[in-house]
Structure 1
Amino acid sequence: MRSREVTVLKLFKSLHRTRQNVFKNDPRALEAARLKINEEFKNSKDETSSAKIDELLKIGSDVEVILRTSVIQGVHTDFNKLLLIPRKELLLDNIPFRDTPTQKS
């Protein structure tokens, strides 16, 4: 297998692993994401331009990062209520805001 093919396969697998983690316990979202990932790779499988392949790999990599770092699950609990279910890796320490910056020593 050539290096580029290995890179494409790694990205494909990484997107699917991220999909499984981000949309855990949500069969509809899991299936929709699976179909979209597969569709995008299938639509680009005959691409031969090195520049275009690099661009597509960058887009796919960016999508994986956004999914992993920014997407949070929500569950409708009532008519106007949504329960957010954050993953542990998305929870950050809350740092209080200061109007005046501290001096560096």
Structure 2
Amino acid sequence: MGTRVKVLRVFKDLHKTRRDVFRDDDRALTAARLKINEEFKKHKNETSEDNIKEMLKMARAVETILRENVIQGEHVEENKVLLRPRKSLLLDNVPYSDTPRNKT
């Protein structure tokens, strides 16, 4: 796959993740869109394959962090925040046990 196609794929994936992570938060959606576009425009004339690979790696890491670690929160009262985790972030609750389980 060509470098241009890889860059466009990461760009598209970042925006898709942005829309999912910041759903219903216009301010965050706009800020993330502007930042993504700014970073890609800043480096649009890069020609070094090594630099491009590093930037693609960084963009993938950012996309993964957004997708796996960011939870929306909304202030509902002075000292209360309503969290809105996406289904992909919810895990089964495993009870704590002092004795480790055998992995057989």
User: Once the two structures are superposed, what CA deviation does each residue of 1:15-42 show, in whole Å capped at 9, x if it has no partner?
Assistant: 0000000000000000000000000000
Runs of 4+ in 1 over 4 A off after TM superposition: none
> Structure 1 pair 49/95, CA: closer, same or farther in 2 (3 Å)?
same
| Unmatched segments (≥5 aa) in structure 2 | none
Counterpart for residue 31 of structure 1: 30
Q: CA deviation at 1:14?
A: 0.4
1:91 — aligned with what? Answer: 90
Q: Distance in 2 between matches of 1:44 and 1:80?
A: 42
Q: 1:76 — aligned with what?
A: 75
Matched residue SS, 1:82: strand
Between the two proteins, the alignment pairs up a number of residues equal to 104
Shift of 1:100: 1.2
| 1:44 match | 43
Shift of 1:104: 4.6
Q: TM-score, normalised by structure 1?
A: 0.94
Q: Which residue of 2 aligns with 1:64?
A: 63
The alignment yields a C-alpha RMSD, in angstroms, of 1.2
Distance 2:27 2:103 in 1: 50
TM-score after normalising by structure 2: 0.95
Q: Does 2:96 align with 1:100?
A: no
Q: CA deviation at 1:80?
A: 1.1
Could you list the runs of 5+ residues in structure 1 that have no partner in the other structure? none
